[in-house]
Amino acid sequence: MRKFLRLYRVFAVQNLKKLMEYRADFLTGLISFLISQSFNILFLGIIFSQIPNLAGWTYNQILFIYGFSLLPQGLDHLLTDNLWMVAYFTVRKGEFDKYLTRPINPLLHVIMEAFQLDAFGELILGIALLCTAAVGLKITISAVNILLFLVAVAAAALIYTDMKIIGAALAFWLKSSGEVLNMFYDMNDFAKYPTSIYNKTVRGIVTYIIPFALTGFYPASYFLTGKDPLFCIGVPVLVSLVLLALAYWVWSRGINAYESAGS
């Protein structure tokens, strides 16, 4: 662990140096995200100006769920976004060789190699929405809930990363799996709203198959209602660990199938 943290610090410093050369790109990404998400919040406001609740959920409750869902999404975006390069380009161009010739676990190397500072747009907006909704709902804050909140966010972020590892690993067989990974991630919008507004099929998919509902709605609902902590917090933790084992297995099998360039 100490070696990993030392290496991560070295990679982080180099990344910051590169990012400082293109500050406009960082600011553009940050502002673009805030603008796009602001339109979603505006759309919610328009809906709730016409109706008192949505399937029994109030405007502030949905704001809380929406804000919560942005935190694990933002952490995953910040720390592991280099996996998209594996999915789209690195394997197809035969550039994955460099990860196999260095004395670092290839998966850790890919993750450490780059991070995305524009993810702070998601984190900033998520925190702002949570604080605004919590004040409106008069949510009671306790030491236990703070601990559970941190655990839930970490587990939810790991679920995102697990799905990203699996999607990226498919490139070892498909050569490019970016579109498959995009399909996975397109489902994360369902995490931002109560699952009760969807039909049974969609609800089952986003809960049990591509479990993004476990990254947003379910853990957030515990902090809103105080009900079912074992399912709302415990299940995301369990799923994140099971998926991590599955993701690493798929990744390892994928490396064995890697053919490099010109093969």
Q: What is the pLDDT of residues 87-135, one digit of tens each?
A: 999 999 888 998 998 888 999 989 988 888 778 888 988 999 999 999 9
> What average pLDDT does this structure show over 184-189?
85
Predicted pLDDT of residue 185? 85
Measured CA distances, 152 to 32, 52, 78, 148, 155 (Å): 27, 29, 18, 6, 5
- Asked if 63 and 145 count as a contact pair (C-beta separation under 8 A), the reply is no
What stretch of H or E contains 42?
helix 23-48
What pTM did the predictor assign? 0.89
Over residues 4-29, the pLDDT tens digits come to 667 767 776 666 666 666 666 666 76
Please state the φ and ψ torsions of residue 226, each to the nearest 5 degrees: 75, 10
- Give the pLDDT of residue 1: 60
Residue 192 confidence (pLDDT): 85
Specify the pLDDT at position 4. 65
pLDDT of residue 17: 65
Q: Is the pLDDT of residue 43 over 80?
A: no
pLDDT confidence of residue 5: 67
The whole-chain average pLDDT of the chain stands at: 87
More confident residue, 34 or 223: 223
**Cβ atoms of 129 and 41 closer than 8 Å:** yes
pLDDT recorded at residue 163: 95
Give 226-247 as a DSSP string.
---HIIIIIHHHHHHHHHHHHH
